[in-house]
Amino acid sequence: MLDERKLKVLYAIINSYILSGEPISSRTISKIYNLGVSSATIRNEMSDLEDLGFLNKPHTSAGRVPSDRAYRLYVDSILKLDNSNIDNNLKNKIKKTLIEESKEMDQLLQNAAKILSKITKYTALAISPQLSKSKIKHIQLIPIENNQILLVLVNNSDIVKNTIFKVDSTISPGQLNIISNYLTHKLRGVLFSEIPNEIDFKEMYAYKEILDKILPMLNDSFDIMDSIDLYSEGITQLLNFPEYKDVDKAKSIISFIENKDLVLDVLLEDEIMEGIKIIIGNENIYEPIKDSSIITASYSVNGKNIGKIGVIGPTRMDYLRLINILKIFSLNLTEIINFYSGN
């Protein structure tokens, strides 16, 4: 653990570098911050911090920049703070906008990502809830044209998902309603991830021919509907940072963000989606984002974390500001989803 003076010097360098993006010298720290020690002492502390792996010295500069290890120490100290610094005026303003402009879950998350990117000037990411971690509440089959059937699923948090599949022959609304009621009765309270491949329909023998047609389609539909949607906004915001001025580097990270599977692999790396999570620089598993940081916050229903929203940008982030903003989005999404779910 670093002593108090080294911590003060290190945090001063981090804060200065976040603002300027330029290597920081001992003279700069001495002029801006009243640390109660001379520039020579600060220079010695900076040398020690470099030896300890908290600072790097660019070849073309006498100043130093924070390492990933420094940011990790800095971020961990921020995360120990309480929630008393939430800006309630900003929270209420964002919540009002989200409620007015969002009529369904997909729209809510898309708008949340859009507003987050606009406020922070970073690229924003959001992922939809995972049905597999929730329980079935209601199943409804609705006939539409050309032998197509709309499958509507409602989970225990009243989150609705739907998909369309096609059968060989027309099935009447009455028959589909009877089957819907039976499926709901049979599967209510079952985890989506534990829906059986085969269901004993002895009581529904009269509908065996119809069920034989529908069940394979239902199972395929459950798999499709459990897929996770990724929403990204403000991808070109990255181009405003000098860290991405190199064309190849910019193309690489933009290509990465546009790859849904890779981004989800990073965001869902851990099974427990809880609170604020920050991945810094080389902590990232993929090369295109090893000079970037990702900050995410979870949102929940009934106290269960079901999705995430976050930002990606250079490691030289204003972590304190972004953490507080993401706390606001986490609270708002949780409150809005729970309100419309009746929880």
Q: Say yes or no: domain 4-66 is CATH 3.30.420.40.
A: no
**Contact between 266 and 248 (Cβ < 8 Å):** no
Planar angle of CA 322, 343, 87, nearest 5 degrees: 25
pTM: 0.82
CA distances in angstroms from 19 to 192, 207, 329, listed in the order given:
47, 68, 24
Spell out the per-residue pLDDT of the chain, length 343, in tens.
Answer: 799 999 999 999 999 999 999 999 999 999 999 888 999 999 999 999 999 999 999 877 779 999 999 999 999 998 887 655 788 999 999 999 999 988 787 889 999 999 999 999 999 999 987 766 678 889 999 988 888 888 888 877 677 777 888 878 788 899 899 989 988 988 888 887 777 766 666 777 777 777 777 777 777 766 666 678 899 999 999 999 999 999 999 999 999 999 999 999 999 876 555 689 999 999 999 999 999 999 999 998 877 788 899 999 999 999 999 999 999 999 999 999 888 766 6
Question: What is the rounded CA–CA span in Å between residue 143 and residue 316?
Answer: 54
**Domain residue ranges in the chain:** 4-66, 87-130+229-340, 132-225
Question: What is the rounded CA–CA span in Å between residue 211 and residue 321?
Answer: 55
The second-level CATH assignment, the architecture, of 132-225 is 2-Layer Sandwich (3.30)
CB atoms within 10 A of CB 174: 9
Q: At what angle do helices 88-101 and 105-120 cross, to 10 degrees?
A: 140
Nearest CA to 29 out of 59, 55, 67 is that of 55
Q: Looking at the domain that runs over 87-130+229-340, which CATH code has it been given? A: 3.30.450.40
